[in-house]
A and B are shown apart, each in its own frame.
Chain A
Amino acid sequence: MISSQAPVLIPITFLFAAMLVPLVGSVHRAAAHLTAVLGSALALYFSVIGMQATLAQGRISYHIAGWMPPIGIEFVLDPLSAFVCTLLCGVTFIVMVFGKRSVEYEIPQKEIAFYSLSMLLLGGLAGMVMTGDLFNLYVFLEIGALAGYALVAIGDKRAVVSAFRYLVMGTVGATFYLLGVALIFISTGTLNMADIAELMPLVQDSPAVIVGLVLIVLGTALKMALFPMHAWLPDAYTHASTTATALIAPIGTKVSAYVLLRVLFFVVDPDYLRNELDILAIIGYLGAIGIIWGSIMAICQSELKRMLAYSSVAQVGYIAVGIALASPLGFIGAILHALNHAVMKCCLFLVSGNMRLRLGHSSIPQMTNGLRKSMPWTSAAFTLAAISMIGLPPTAGFFGKWYLALGAIEQSHWIFLTALLISTILNVAYFFRVMERMYLKPQETGGVDYSEQTIARNEAPASMLIPTLFLAISLLVLGFANAWIVTNLIVPMIPGWL
């Protein structure tokens, strides 16, 4: 019963929670957090049920108000969207549990607005994943984006300015997307994705459709911060509060990448995309440049959150390369990397939140090996996630890169392979720089006794530490279970023509 309604239940749960949080919060302040946690737990439950049902019986389609698809609005849960949705709800649930202390510390008096907006953001993102209609996708994209701007704006002093920049760039992206949809609608007369996919071979040679496709790709690339369009990302991630960053960074760009994947692989005629239009190749080369550029910029940063933000630009590049390969291996690599990156980047941002709570900063030059003594578990979680980002087996990060590298070798794309290898070395450089300070660099002895006994154990509270450790350990679990994930979850979602 629930499974047939799952596609629409998940976004509705989040949107409903977004409205419920201010109501409950006005009665009792602390209950706002509880509502957000319960809302995301419920959505996670629905998405797990939906995923089980999709794997058992295939595509679930929900027709809003009983109108049949080409005319009515359709919400779809197929293996791909079910997987992305479960990932999204899982990460949200963990971040919401983590959020309580961190939000109280970093943005006091704004908890209710924060939780309401984060639920709204997730409602928008979940809707983007579920919908089978291009215009609906635009509306959900804007719901999510507007909540995202406001979430970024609730931060430190400079957050408003970076939120404004994010808004300007995000609006350009959304406008390009809407223009692209207009051009495709003019040519096909329908907005339903499955319907467009059927009509596409008839109209794809017309300039209007080509321009429309390019505009859609451009708009989504802006939203997912593909290389030359990434300028909004580092500022927005740095100045927002840690919990907001931990929500937007792992999920927001992934959902935009999912839209790109959906439009390019499920809406457009595949042979045309491969042979006639070079959009895929351009996305791939931009991704490859972004991988190198993001990694180099990450090395130059002195603030941990900013470094992680630039590293996100690089990681989005991996997904773009996986999309550009347009082969089963590339597809597996892109999806697996999206999963791994969401988990490890979320873990790293939670670590930076723990540091901000206990040290009051997350600036790399000020770190010393006292950290290893005062926050042993946080440091361990950081190390594990960093190893995964670099891509050492058996952590999860290795396998995503492995499939991407195999895909690049299979098609003799040596540029992509080189970018992957160089970026791994660069990743080592910027993560080991932090780990060196955490574990090796002695503290300055300025008259004060800094011997090992005097360093107080000052670990983050359990409500923040447990989510962090859970994510860190799940990186190992994902790494060991990757064969199972690929055969059972990712292979069913590969489109037939690949």
Chain B
Amino acid sequence: MIEFIQGYYAYIFLAATFTIGLYGMMMKQNLMKKVLGMSVVAACTILFWIVSAYKEGAGVTVLDPRYGVENPELYLNPLPHTLMLTAIVVAVVTLGVALALLIGIYREFKTLDEPTLLERMK
């Protein structure tokens, strides 16, 4: 059990944080908190990709004469990290659109609290 936790502690941490983010998105009544939850979920997904490519003691994917090419364990796969640059941009843009929509909602209804909002929309 201890070994399992030691081996997968990053994934366990990410799973817990992802759940917290989802909880925030679904259950919180303040729309701003929903956006915060969304941001947490997006960050978790990005970290998941990065953690999955991490290797203890490995270096960058540039051929290093000291290590040679015999042992691939010494080289990281750079692809997930590079892909996550795109995913970070997408997450930031989503956050921006969400905040812009929140500003629109606030201007229109003068509240960000969901029950109040539903009442004012009638």
Contact = CB atoms under 8 A, between A and B. Distances in A.
A491 interface: no
B70 to A, nearest CB: 20
Nearest to B114: A161
A175 interface: yes
A182 B101 contact: no
Contacts of B101: 149, 153, 160, 163-164, 167
B80 A185 contact: yes
A172 B97 contact: no
Contacts of B94: 142, 146, 167, 171
Contacts of A161: 105, 109, 117, 121
Given A150-B97, A164-B31, A167-B94, A182 B121 contact: no
B16 interface: no
Nearest to B51: A182
Interface string A166-189: 011001100100110010011001
Interface in A310-346: none
A433 interface: no
Contacts of A189: 77
A16 interface: no
B67 interface: no
Contacts of A157: 108
Interface string A129-172: 00000010011001000100110010001101101100110011
Interface in B59-100: 77, 80, 83, 86-87, 90, 93-94, 97-98
Interface string B14-28: 000000001001000
A16 B22 CA distance: 36
Query: Which one of B48, B101, B105, B117 has the highest number of Cβ atoms from chain A below 10 Å of its Cβ?
Result: B101
Interface residues on A, range: 20 to 34
B31 A172 contact: no
Interface in B2-42: 22, 25, 31, 34, 38, 41-42
Contacts of B104: 153, 160
B25 A168 contact: yes
Nearest to B107: A160
A419 B109 CA distance: 41
Contacts of A167: 94, 97-98, 101
Nearest to A189: B77
Nearest to B102: A164
Main SS class of interface, A = helix
Contacts of A168: 25, 34, 38, 98
Query: Which one of A158, A164, A167 has the highest number of Cβ atoms from chain B below 10 Å of its Cβ?
Result: A164
Given A164-B98, A175-B41, A175-B42, A139 B105 contact: no
Nearest to A179: B45
Contacts of B49: 178, 182, 185
Contacts of A175: 41-42, 45
Contacts of A142: 90, 93-94
A157 B121 CA distance: 9
Contact of B48 (A138, A171, A179): A179
A135 B102 CA distance: 29
A154 to B, nearest CB: 10
Contacts of A150: 97
Contacts of A186: 52
A138 B104 CA distance: 27
Given A146-B93, A171-B38, A158 B121 contact: yes
Contacts of B34: 168
Given A153-B101, A161-B117, A168-B25, A182 B45 contact: yes
A136 B88 CA distance: 14
A177 to B, nearest CB: 10
B113 to A, nearest CB: 12
A183 to B, nearest CB: 8
A396 B25 CA distance: 41
Interface of A: 135, 138-139, 142, 146, 149-150, 153, 157-158, 160-161, 163-164, 167-168, 171-172, 175, 178-179, 182, 185-186, 189
Interface of B: 22, 25, 31, 34, 38, 41-42, 45, 48-49, 52, 77, 80, 83, 86-87, 90, 93-94, 97-98, 101-102, 104-105, 108-109, 117, 121
27 contacts: A135-B83, A135-B86, A138-B90, A142-B90, A142-B94, A146-B94, A146-B97, A149-B97, A153-B101, A153-B104, A158-B121, A160-B105, A161-B121, A163-B101, A164-B101, A167-B98, A167-B101, A171-B41, A171-B42, A172-B22, A172-B38, A175-B42, A178-B45, A179-B45, A182-B52, A185-B52, A185-B80
Q: A-B pairs with the 6 shortest C-beta distances?
A: A160-B104, A164-B101, A142-B90, A186-B52, A160-B105, A182-B49
Given A142-B93, A161-B121, 11 more contacts: A139-B90, A149-B97, A149-B101, A161-B109, A167-B98, A167-B101, A171-B38, A172-B38, A175-B42, A178-B49, A182-B52
